[in-house]
Chains A and B, each alone.
Chain A
Amino acid sequence: MYDVLLIPVREAPMAAFLPVFSCRVPAGFPSPATDELEGLFDLNRLLFRHPDATYLVRVMGESMSGAEIHPGDLLAVDKHLEADHGHIVVAVVDGDCTVKRLERRGETWWLVPANPAFAPYRIRTGEELHIWGVVTHVVHELVPGRLTALLHSRD
């Protein structure tokens, strides 16, 4: 969160609609796809529900690897959504931003990492917890390189 890297997002004259196929792809067994087309889908509408309030940030560290959030992943963070129990949030602890799961246990709130190597953080009574935003999506590259290339090609 410390190095703010602005990624210019081109004003799309036309949304990049891709067809959505109604067949499901089971994990483990590729099945022959039907050619039923359900409709056109624009990924931006998924990622940017509140375009004014959504920020893309990159992940550092392993503390959320159990939640499939890995170093280098791109997170869509919605600053406008109200954080609730169970949300993965960007929280500000002692002035530093951190990605954790927000949990309510009885009367106390916790910031819980998804990695046993890290300890959960209990929000002390009276401490003002500042939630920077709610993580709505993770973009994880399965074929690595493209994201970094896009980020560096901005000049």
Chain B
Amino acid sequence: MFGLVDCNNFYVSCERVFQPRLEGKPVVVLSNNDGCIISRSAEAKALGLKMGDPYFQVKEQLRRDSVQVFSSNYALYGDMSRRVMHYLGATVPGVEIYSIDEAFLDLGGLETHLTPYLGHLTDLAQRLRAGVKARTGIPVCVGVAPTKTLAKLANRLAKKDAGLGGVLYLDSGERRAWALGQVAVGDVWGVGRQYAHKLTAAGIDSAADLARVSEAWARKHLGGVVGARLVRELQGYPLRGAGPERGRDAAPAEPQLLAHVRAAAAGAGRGAGGGGGVRGAGGGKAAPARRPGARADGVPGQKSVWAGGGRAFALGGADAAGAHRRHAGADGAGGAAAGPAVGAGGGVR
């Protein structure tokens, strides 16, 4: 089983994390040297702005519609991407980083062996989604399916249909058939523009149509074995990425992984809280109920860390009042015998 995690409007989302006031407003990010539009918020898409629109052509419209325009900041996007991928890598058995904002997850064996700990794969996907959001503030969608091509397709639908809550798991034949019918053939992963024309000309309009063609036909008209594989993938037989699939039975047996997965399952309640913040302060009822869970989950809160710091450095007592800090630091530096450790402690309260 494969998952595909794809960040929504990744570059725009990165900018929004640090400028929350852009939430709900049209935003675009431009390519190098402000050449063309390479990322659009949902609001910008609604204004009819297209991917790849040259900046100089749409400049006037951007100004008129007060669209926020950003030059690309790849150092920022790279850092946020690293955080997302690192989290995913620490949470599921295998991750294949496919692009700066996309990663395939190898979920092989999880459902068979670990359902008691992880729940349905939809729940796992929801937790991943909440986890990425809590750590980075970036919204993602997750598609889960037996093949990479179908996972891509599921992700596409999860993005389009807000009612799905950002996750689509094609767990049954009926669901797969339904999903295939939703997607135009040109939007299938691996079908380029040329092939899309060719296929529509041949009366193959949707992914479902493509999944029905014979292997011989695919070999003849879709570039040989590559086309045949594509069709097999759409039918739900995993061929692409045999690599991550190998050894999938061995992977979940590692005790370390099991422990990790249990921890993830224990954290499920928190994930469902979403956002990772206190929301709707007026209510105030949901928040206290969640807190004990958070504590038990190995997030002991600030106090223990402070206490640890006090023990290690003990500059004027563990709870040194703010006013004492400067003196304490100065003394630490003065007491030369204490050396570099205290020096460092003085700097970091």
Contact = CB atoms under 8 A, between A and B. Distances in A.
A83 interface: yes
A27 B20 contact: no
Given A6-B75, A18-B340, A130 B20 contact: yes
Contact of A136 (B277, B302, B308, B320): B302
Contact of B344 (A18, A33, A38, A96): A18
A89 to B, nearest CB: 8
Given A79-B137, A127-B282, A137 B348 contact: yes
A129 B287 CA distance: 13
A28 B316 CA distance: 8
Contacts of A59: none
B238 to A, nearest CB: 29
Contact of B346 (A24, A30, A97, A142): A142
Nearest to A53: B135
Contacts of B19: 1-2, 95
Contacts of A31: 335
A84 B314 CA distance: 26
Contact of B281 (A66, A108, A139): A108
Given A132-B277, A142-B326, A47 B348 contact: yes
B331 to A, nearest CB: 5
Interface residues of A, number: 68
Contacts of B280: 126, 128-129
Interface stretch (B79-87, B169-177, B206-214): B79-87
Contact of A82 (B276, B314, B324, B325): B276
Nearest to A139: B348
Contacts of A68: 322, 325, 349
A27 B79 contact: no
B268 to A, nearest CB: 14
Contacts of B284: 104, 107, 109
B335 A30 contact: yes
Contacts of B134: 53, 79-80
B164 interface: no
Contacts of A102: 278
A13 interface: no
A26 B347 CA distance: 16
A25 B282 contact: no
A46 to B, nearest CB: 7
Interface in B61-92: 73, 75-76, 79, 83, 86-87, 90
B135 A79 contact: yes
B277 A94 contact: no
A145 interface: no
A42 to B, nearest CB: 11
B21 A25 contact: no
B136 interface: yes
B73 to A, nearest CB: 7
Contacts of A136: 302, 305
A118 interface: no
Nearest to B322: A68
Given A4-B18, A52-B83, A142-B346, A46 B305 contact: yes
B281 to A, nearest CB: 4
A119 interface: no
B51 interface: no
Given A68-B325, A83-B277, A129-B277, A27 B316 contact: yes
Instruction: Please list the 7 inter-chain residue pairs (A to B) with the smallest Cβ-Cβ separation, ordered nearest first.
Output: A95-B21, A27-B316, A131-B277, A24-B314, A68-B322, A125-B282, A33-B337
Interface of B: 18-23, 73, 75-76, 79, 83, 86-87, 90, 134-137, 270, 273, 275-282, 284, 290-291, 294, 299, 301-302, 305, 308-309, 312-317, 320, 322, 324-335, 337-342, 344, 346-349
18 contacts: A4-B73, A6-B73, A20-B313, A26-B316, A30-B331, A41-B341, A49-B305, A51-B86, A53-B134, A66-B322, A81-B299, A82-B273, A82-B299, A109-B278, A129-B277, A129-B281, A134-B302, A142-B330
Interface of A: 1-2, 4, 6, 8, 18-21, 23-33, 38, 41, 43, 46-47, 49-53, 66-68, 79-84, 87, 92, 94-97, 102, 104, 107-109, 123-132, 134, 136-142
